[in-house]
C-alpha cells in the first residue's frame, strides 16, 4: 500500500508539472529566430539591437491603411474569442501597427499583458498571445513592423520582434534581436 501511494503521488506531481508547462507554452508568441541576425562581432548585443531598431524603424516604407475595414473573423483564431471585447474595441480604432494591422493588448495581472494582432484588410486575427508574464509592451508604431517587449526586471531579455508577412501562416512574429536589460521597470527603494 505504501509503495502504491508513493507511485501515485509521483505520478500526480509529474502530471501537474506537465500541465503547467503546457499552459505556459500555450501563451507564448509563435516566433522563429532569424538566422540572418546571428552576429559574431566585437559589438555588444545592446549596440546591435539599437542599430537594428533604428534601421528597421527608419527604413519601413509602410504607410497607415485608410481603406475599408473588414469585419473581424474570430474563426481565424478561435482561442482569441476569450478576449473578444477588448480585441473588437481596439479594432474599431483602425490601424495602429505595421500599416494595416491593429494590435490590441490587455492586462492579465501584475507584470503581465496579452495581445492580439488583426489584419484590417482580411479581418483575420494573425497573432494571439494571451499571457506574457514578466514583460510589458515597450513599443510599436503604425508605420513599422517592430514590437518591443521590455522585461519587468533587470537581467531578463529585452526582445524585439518584427511582423513577417511573407511567412504569415507559420510565424507571424520573428525575433530579430534580444539583449539583457540593465533596467528595472520599477524604481529601486533604498532604505
The strand pairing partners of 146, in sequence order, are 162
Structural domain includes residue 69: yes
Q: Which residue has the higher pLDDT, 168 or 84?
A: 84
Does 91 map to a domain? yes
Could you tell me if residue 3 is inside a domain?
Answer: no
What is the reported pTM?
0.71
In a domain? residue 163: yes
pLDDT exceeds cutoff 60 at 24: no
User: What's the number of domains the chain is made of?
Assistant: 1
Residue 92 has pLDDT above 90, yes or no: yes
Average pLDDT over the chain reads 79
Contact 117, 125 (CB under 8 A): yes
Has residue 51 been placed in a domain?
yes
Residue 140 forms part of a structural domain: yes
Asked if pLDDT for residue 75 goes beyond 60, the answer is yes
Helix segments in the chain, DSSP class H: 2-26, 45-58, 84-91
144 vs 94: CA distance, rounded Å: 15
Residue 94 has pLDDT above 90, yes or no: yes
Nearest alpha carbon to residue 147 among 110, 172, 130: 172
What is the pairing mode between strands 173-180 and 31-33? Answer: parallel
pLDDT at 34 over 60: no
CA distance 143 to 149: 18
Assigned domain for 1 exists: no
CA gap 83, 105 in Å, rounded = 10
- Rg (the chain; Cα; Å): 20
- Return d(Cα 174, Cα 42) in angstroms, integer: 24
Round to whole Å and give the CA distance between 6 and 60. 59
Longest dimension (CA), the chain: 70
Model confidence band, residue 36 (pLDDT cutoffs 50, 70, 90):
very low
**What is the pLDDT, as a whole number, of residue 37?**
38
Of all residues in the chain, the percent with pLDDT exceeding 90 is: 44
| Residue 15 falls inside a structural domain | no
For range 82-87, the mean pLDDT: 97
Sign of the alpha-carbon torsion through 157, 160, 120, 64: positive
Residue 144 structural domain: 29-180
Banded model confidence at residue 40, pLDDT cuts 50, 70, 90:
very low
User: What does the pLDDT read at residue 54?
Assistant: 83
Amino acid at each position: 500500500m505504501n509503495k502504491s501511494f508513493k507511485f501515485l503521488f509521483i505520478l500526480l506531481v509529474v502530471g501537474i508539472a506537465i500541465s503547467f508547462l503546457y499552459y505556459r507554452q500555450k501563451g507564448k508568441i509563435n516566433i522563429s529566430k532569424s538566422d540572418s541576425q546571428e552576429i559574431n562581432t566585437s559589438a555588444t548585443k545592446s549596440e546591435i539591437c539599437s542599430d537594428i531598431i533604428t534601421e528597421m524603424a527608419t527604413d519601413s516604407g509602410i504607410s497607415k491603411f485608410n481603406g475599408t475595414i473588414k469585419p473581424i473573423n474570430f474563426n481565424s483564431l478561435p482561442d482569441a474569442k476569450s478576449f473578444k471585447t477588448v480585441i473588437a474595441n481596439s479594432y474599431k480604432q483602425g490601424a495602429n501597427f505595421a500599416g494595416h494591422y491593429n494590435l490590441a493588448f490587455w492586462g492579465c495581472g501584475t507584470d503581465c499583458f496579452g495581445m492580439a494582432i488583426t489584419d484590417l484588410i482580411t479581418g483575420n486575427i494573425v497573432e494571439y498571445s494571451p499571457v506574457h508574464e514578466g514583460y510589458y509592451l515597450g513599443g510599436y508604431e503604425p508605420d513599422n513592423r517592430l514590437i518591443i517587449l521590455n522585461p519587468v526586471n533587470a537581467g531578463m531579455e529585452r526582445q524585439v520582434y518584427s511582423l513577417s508577412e511573407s511567412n504569415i501562416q507559420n510565424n507571424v512574429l520573428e525575433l530579430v534581436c534580444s539583449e539583457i536589460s540593465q533596467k528595472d521597470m520599477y524604481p529601486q527603494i533604498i532604505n
